[in-house]
Amino acid sequence: MKVSLAGGTGFIGSGLVEALLKRGDAVVLLTRNPAAAQQRWDAKVDVRLWNGRDPGPWVMALDGADAVVNLAGESVAGGRWTPERKLALIRSRVDTTRDLIAGIQAARERPLVLVNASAVGFYGAHPEGDCPEETPRGADFLAALCGQWERDARDAEKLDVRVVMTRFGVVLGKDGGALARMLPPFKLGLGGPLGSGRQPFPWVHVDDAVGAILFAVDDAKLTGPVNVTAPDARTNAEFTKALGRALHRPAFLPAPAFALRLALGEMSGLLLGGQRAAPKKLLERGYKFRHPSLEGALASLFK
């Protein structure tokens, strides 16, 4: 297959590029930093300059592509959600998605599928009960952001393109994402639950985040929102205990909710909220998780 990928130099995207190349697909990478991407993958990847908001020669990369995958977006955990930061988060997702849709519309031979990133934050704070994909949108900033992101992605359906929105949980991997930020205090024996620790902690191993994207590209009957989370639902306290055991370190020092709210402001809702986002669609369609259990996932990362 020919797969055009936006956001392919990040934590999940880099793993996806490797997986696509391993199975023999042709990869066209849309990036703001083509020199760095070319240095990493050499001639294995067709690299095109793309700033995420303007038309240009990169549009030709979408013509004849079998699939487009959009993982572009600044990290929501990159700093306090000031008005300026919120605007940057919106633009890095909404503007890039609209730009890609315009590129797809301009293509003479349009892709069969658009796989567009989203997040389980779509559901807002949801401490009780499961959140399968049909659960209504939440009411906080991140829920509204995900809702707009998904609405713009679905515009591709008007162009007869199948659309899948991958609602990622917390993606676990040693070399990036949330776990990389957690490791320093845990390795010092200073880790522990956040707030009460009773809030749900929807997680997924990076291998399955990549695997779910490939599955979405390949399965012609998979459409709409898809929770990309492991089936082994845990609370924050259960996760921190399991991480401590995997690192052979204690994990009993809690971070009080009031301190997190004081330090992080509105962004503290990311840590103190949570969702039991069950991977209903993936399981129904027959996706086989490589790391279905938390202990097994952590063991694979710290073996």
CATH number of the domain to which 220 belongs? 3.40.50.720
Is 260 part of any domain?
Answer: no
Question: Given this model, what pLDDT does residue 260 score?
Answer: 73
Q: How many percent of the chain have pLDDT more than 90?
A: 70
Q: What pLDDT is recorded for position 53?
A: 79
pLDDT in tens, 133-171: 999 999 999 999 999 999 999 999 999 999 999 999 999
pLDDT given for residue 43 in this prediction: 85
Give the tens place of pLDDT for each residue, 28-83. 999 988 888 988 888 899 999 998 878 788 888 899 999 999 999 988 887 888 99
Check residue 152 and give its pLDDT.
97
Percentage of the chain with pLDDT > 70?
Answer: 100
pLDDT of residue 261: 82
- Rounded Cα distance between 189 and 74, Å, is 30
Higher per-residue confidence, 106 vs 254: 106
Report if residue 197 sits inside a domain. Answer: no
Domain count, the chain: 1
Task: Let me know if residue 86 belongs to a domain.
Answer: yes
Residue 261 lies in a domain: no
Residue 155: per-residue pLDDT: 97
**What pLDDT sits at residue 127?**
82
Report residue 112's pLDDT band, with 50, 70 and 90 as the boundaries: very high
Task: Please check whether residue 241 lies inside any domain of the structure.
Answer: no
Q: Domain for residue 253, yes or no?
A: no
What is the reported pLDDT for 47?
94
Domain assignment present for residue 102? The answer is yes
pLDDT (average), residues 87-91: 94
Helix/strand/coil (H/E/C) assignment for every residue in the chain: CEEEEECCCCHHHHHHHHHHHHCCCEEEEEECCHHHHHHHHHHHCEEEECCCCCCCHHHHHCCCCCEEEECCCCCCCCCCCCHHHHHHHHHHHHHHHHHHHHHHHHCCCCCCEEEEEEEHHHHCCEEEEECCCCCCCCCCHHHHHHHHHHHHHHHHHHHCCEEEEEEECEEECCCCHHHHHHHHHHHCCCCCCECCCCCECCEEEHHHHHHHHHHHHHCCCCCEEEEECCCCCCEHHHHHHHHHHHHCCCCCCCECHHHHHHHHHHHHHHHHCCEECCCHHHHHCCCCCCCCCHHHHHHHHCC
208 lies in some domain: yes
Q: Please give the model's pTM, rounded to 2 decimal places.
A: 0.95
287 is in which domain, residue-wise?
A: 2-172+204-230+276-291
